[in-house]
Amino acid sequence: MLVQQILKQKAKPGVLSVASTARVAEAATILAQNRIGSVVVSDDDGKTAVGILSERDIVRELASKGGACLEQPVSAYMTSKLQTCTSQSSAQDILARMTEGRFRHMPVVEEGTLVGLITLGDVVKAQLSELAMEKQALEGMIMGH
């Protein structure tokens, strides 16, 4: 299965983003209000990704620096060395990269432009769906349907 197929199945198309100059508290509000685990950092209204900020990034800084970190700019804590994929990447490749890198969110980029965000949950759901269809097809073949 390809990333483009997974993106089509997502409930909400598009990507939420926050500017690198936004306060961490603003990013945390976006995460909470939208019930998401990360937000893409973009300084051109979501056209290109300069980083990503996750709940884990915020919690790690809260634990070490306290509440003062919430007033800092997102750029202070975001991951700027992004792992990205394209719509033609395979789900298996994405799953392997996320597992190896221990992250759960990956921007989808086409010709330098941000087109989506894929999560570990999206990939697992797609893989399970594909396995269920294969199982059903095999059972149908065995039963002669």
Residue 104 to residues 31, 50, 101, 137: CA-CA distances in angstroms? 14, 17, 9, 31
The domain tally of the chain equals 1
CA distance 20 to 74: 5
Average pLDDT, stretch 13-19? 88
Return the SS3 of 118. Answer: strand
The model's pLDDT over 39-91, given as tens digits with 9 standing for 90+, comes to: 999 999 989 999 999 999 999 999 999 999 999 999 999 999 999 999 999 99
CA distance 114 to 15: 8
pTM score: 0.84
CA pair distance 22, 8, nearest whole angstrom? 30
| Residue 52's CATH number | 3.10.580.10
* Band of pLDDT at residue 145, cut at 50, 70 and 90: low
Q: What is the pLDDT of residues 93-135, one digit of tens each?
A: 999 999 999 999 999 999 999 999 999 999 998 888 888 777 8
Domain containing 111: what range? 3-142
Q: Residue 134 has what pLDDT?
A: 78
